[in-house]
Amino acid sequence: MRDNEITEISQISEELLCKYLHACHILHYHDLLDAYGHISVRLSPSTFLMCRYLAPALAASTDDLVVYKVEDGEAVAADAPRGFSERFIHSEIYKAYPETQSVLHSHSLDVVPFSISSTPLQACFHRAGFLGTAVPVWDVATVYREYPDYLQDMKVTDTRLGLDLAKSLGSAVNGQPTHPVVLMRGHGFVATSDSLEMTVLRGVYTTQNAKVQMAAVGLGEQIQFMTEREGKSTGKTGVVKPWPLWVREVEENPLYRNDLSKQNRP
């Protein structure tokens, strides 16, 4: 084991643990996660953190968190609580893109329509320039055709499915995927970035862009999408302003409990 690898919750800074719990709550508050879906954060080259098998909105303490191995998506601790069956989405993306620091999987109903239609999701709202001129769609049926014995429940439940999904994000550029977001046919989407906060932001604005695009389609007029250059320029939106606001929103909401938040301490 290398010196900079993290394999236990006790090795993780309290700041990151608190931030991770806030991320779970923020994503629920903004309708990206309900009882299902999940977000992760890389801890070291070989490990990442996710909450255990429960609705992320209810994650409240370190007892709800699990350290996983990038290599195979399995928990580091033999006695770890049950985890999400689709954790392989995260492990295979971390494996394919070494500079990716956080991964989100959402079932947002605002985004799903673009995964099953011929209309691509693309940047038309300046906060979502990172989406570019077309968001790729991964179809799990491509794997089912090659391996017909699969259950075919649309879930990414092993490394083979996770690897195929990861490839749809495109080639690695400086350790990051070409496309930060990919849709999953009839399922949802995945967002990635180089920080936990940025992944939350990309999730929030992916859904907002989907709403704007759907509303524009409803007007029956030709839509003027963002150009590739506009997307790259606006895609640099930071999290300095929205993150403190989002944290305050969930800290003030009694549904969410974060035992590591200073506001919740006596």
> How much is the pTM?
0.96
Q: Is residue 87 part of a domain?
A: yes
CATH number of domain containing 242: 3.40.225.10
Residue that the structure tokens 């695009």 belong to: 213
Report the Cα–Cα distance between both ends of the chain, in Å, rounded: 38
Answer whether residue 263 is part of any domain: no
182 belongs to a structural domain: yes
Contacts of 186 (CB under 8 A, 6+ apart): 112, 115, 116, 154
The total of structural domains in the chain comes to 1
Q: Please report whether residue 119 resides in a domain.
A: yes
Does residue 201 lie within any of the structural domains? Answer: yes
Q: Is residue 47 part of a domain?
A: yes
Q: Please indicate, yes or no, if residue 2 is contained in any of the structural domains.
A: no
Of 86, 99, 197, 249, which residue is the catalytic one? 86
Known catalytic membership, residue 86: yes
Distances (CA, A) of 41 to 121, 183, 193: 26, 20, 10
Domain that holds residue 165: 9-255
Q: Is residue 262 part of a domain?
A: no
Nearest Cα neighbor of 187 from 113, 85, 84 is 113
- pLDDT tens track of the chain, all 266 residues? 345 789 999 999 999 999 999 999 999 999 999 999 999 999 999 999 999 999 999 999 999 999 999 999 999 999 999 999 999 999 999 999 999 999 999 999 999 999 999 999 999 999 999 999 999 999 999 999 999 999 999 999 999 999 999 999 999 999 999 999 999 999 999 999 999 999 999 999 999 999 999 999 999 889 999 999 999 898 777 899 999 999 999 999 999 999 999 766 55
